[in-house]
Amino acid sequence: MESTPLAASVPPTALPDDLYCNFPATVVSHIVTSSIFRELPEPDVQILASGGLRIPAHSGILASISPVLEQLIDRPRKKRSAMKVISIVGVPSDAVVSFVRFLYSSRCTVEHLEKHGIHLLALSHVYMVPQLKAMCTKDLAQRLTIESVVDVLQLARLCNASDLYLKCMKFVADHFKFVEKTEGWQFIQDHDPWLELDILKFIDDTESRKQRNRRIRKERKLYLELHEAMECLEHICSEGCTIVGPYNVEPKKERGPCSHYSTCHGLQLLIKHFATCKKRTNGLGCGRCKRMWQLLKLHSSICDHSECCKVPLCRKFKQRSSPDDGNKRKDDAQWKMLVRKVVSAKAMSSLSLSNMKMPDVEEERAIRPRRIGSFRLQSGRRQR
């Protein structure tokens, strides 16, 4: 890709009529007539492509679009009278024609991008035409396939196309089982081990990030369910629900289910078991009773009005003093962290639920299993 003097013998060519955008073209044995450029001066540069194709052009237009072409045009010539020739070889001549057409019109059709997208990306990078480079990267990112993604990835790295490079990496990570069977992957393993290492590292990082996000979503869902259980506990102890209510208020049989019925119903079953469990009265306790103790303690840690709270033992948990024990202080720190996460999960969920449609929220509540986080609630038939 360099500037050379015009050769003595030039093979005849046939250029497309729309090469110079709106200017009609009449080419006869590589000689350009004056009708081609009715509004432009005579061409003073020729672009030599593969196969001996010569494309007449104007140095002013080329220099205004590409700083690299401007340097080639301004390079001194051996013969002042000879027309400058800029060699653009190494890519198909049709791709060079599409490249020149873009320099004149600033447009590139979908057909040309589909046919010469890879070559146009290389040309736009070498000759520093950012508008064409952006068009090529966007089009190539939409046309990635199992067979072509490795080649596009290598080109994107060479052309510093970071967006296209990242999309190729994600495509390889999502379809690696199929990509590793292609010839392009075999070529990378044999000739570019550093790129292979980058791809494998990206896949490992992607999988680690997915696992971390799944764990965070799972924990957030648990904290949200715990906060929902706290709301249900206050609702049951202050107003009563279908089967459990305050000691001085009789549960109404005609009362309909509340908005958090699945959680509320399971919590009522747990309260009924807690009130009648024989192991708890003997001082031993059972697993379900211990869960109830934990829920009551969690409510006390969150409650801001313990003086008038109707939830049992709320004030006593507030007044209990912790002994000066190292292990106890460590447990208290973990408990305080749990309380903070439960409160923050509710705040974050309120923001996310505001962006969800109400039918989606109701559907999520309908399909939610009857449990409180890790506290699995048994049905009434399995109660003692």
DSSP string, 41-79: ----EEEE-GGG-EEEE-HHHHHHH-HHHHHHHHS--S-
Q: How confident is the model at residue 317 (pLDDT cuts 50, 70, 90)?
A: confident
Q: What is the pLDDT of residue 370?
A: 39
Q: What's phi and psi for 136, nearest 5 deg?
A: -70, -45
Q: How far apart are CA 39 and CA 218, in angstroms?
A: 68
Q: Is 156 a residue whose pLDDT tops 50?
A: yes
User: Which H/E stretch holds residue 47?
Assistant: strand 45-48
Q: How far apart are CA 70 and CA 182, in angstroms?
A: 41
Q: What is the DSSP letter of 354?
A: T
Q: How confident is the model at residue 38 (pLDDT cuts 50, 70, 90)?
A: very low
pLDDT, tens digit (0-9, with 9 covering 90-100), for 238-294: 777 777 777 666 655 556 667 777 788 888 888 888 878 877 655 556 888 888 888
Q: What is the pLDDT of residue 349?
A: 64
CB 226 within 8 A of CB 297: no
Q: What is the pLDDT of residue 31?
A: 35
CB 54 within 8 A of CB 47: yes
Amino acid, single-letter form, for residue 263: T
Packing angle, helices 326-353 and 193-238, rounded to 10: 90
Q: What is the pLDDT of residue 161?
A: 93
Q: What is the pLDDT of residue 167?
A: 95
Determine the Cα angle at 330 with ends 326 and 333, to 5°: 140
pLDDT, tens digit (0-9, with 9 covering 90-100), for 7-20: 333 343 456 656 66
Q: What is the pLDDT of residue 301?
A: 82
Q: Is 122 a residue whose pLDDT tops 80?
A: yes
For the chain, the farthest-separated pair of C-alpha atoms sits apart, in whole angstroms, at 112
Q: How confident is the model at residue 350 (pLDDT cuts 50, 70, 90)?
A: low
Determine the Cα angle at 40 with ends 37 and 43, to 5°: 75
CB 122 within 8 A of CB 159: yes
Q: How far apart are CA 127 and CA 57, in angstroms?
A: 16
Which neighbouring-strand residues pair with 45? 57, 84
pLDDT, tens digit (0-9, with 9 covering 90-100), for 201-235: 999 999 999 999 999 888 888 888 888 888 888 87
Q: Where are the beta strands (DSSP E) in the chain?
A: 3-5, 27-28, 31-32, 45-48, 54-57, 84-87, 371-372, 375-376
Q: What is the pLDDT of residue 146?
A: 94
Q: Is 138 a residue whose pLDDT tops 80?
A: yes
CB 35 within 8 A of CB 24: yes
Q: What's phi and psi for 2, nearest 5 deg?
A: -145, 170
CB 3 within 8 A of CB 75: yes
Q: Residues of the chain with pLDDT > 90: what percent?
A: 35
Q: How confident is the model at residue 47 (pLDDT cuts 50, 70, 90)?
A: very high
What CATH superfamily is the domain 25-108? Answer: Potassium Channel Kv1.1; Chain A (3.30.710.10)
Q: What is the pLDDT of residue 361?
A: 46
Of 94-98, 162-166, 264-268, 344-348, give the lowest mean pLDDT range: 344-348
Highest mean pLDDT among 68-77, 249-258, 297-306: 68-77
Q: What mean pLDDT comes out for the span 128-146?
A: 94
The per-residue pLDDT of the chain, averaged, comes to 77
Q: What's phi and psi for 238, nearest 5 deg?
A: -100, -40
Q: What is the pLDDT of residue 22?
A: 45
44: which residues sit within 8 A by CB, 6+ positions away? 58, 59, 83, 84
Q: How confident is the model at residue 384 (pLDDT cuts 50, 70, 90)?
A: very low
User: What are the sequence ranges of the domains in the chain?
Assistant: 25-108, 222-249+260-319
Positive/negative CA dihedral, 138, 177, 209, 195:
negative
Query: Whose CA is closest to 117, among 67, 64, 102?
Result: 102
Q: How confident is the model at residue 171 (pLDDT cuts 50, 70, 90)?
A: very high
Q: Is 369 a residue whose pLDDT tops 50?
A: no
Q: What is the pLDDT of residue 40?
A: 66
- Output 354 or 29, whichever has higher pLDDT: 354
Do β-strands 84-87 and 45-48 pair in parallel, antiparallel, or remain unpaired? parallel
Overall CATH class of domain 222-249+260-319:
mainly alpha
Q: How confident is the model at residue 78 (pLDDT cuts 50, 70, 90)?
A: low
Highest mean pLDDT among 149-158, 315-324, 369-378: 149-158
Q: What's phi and psi for 81, nearest 5 deg?
A: -80, -15
Q: Mark residue 11 as left, alpha or beta (left: phi above 0; alpha: psi -120 to 50; beta: remaining).
A: beta
Which neighbouring-strand residues pair with 55? 47
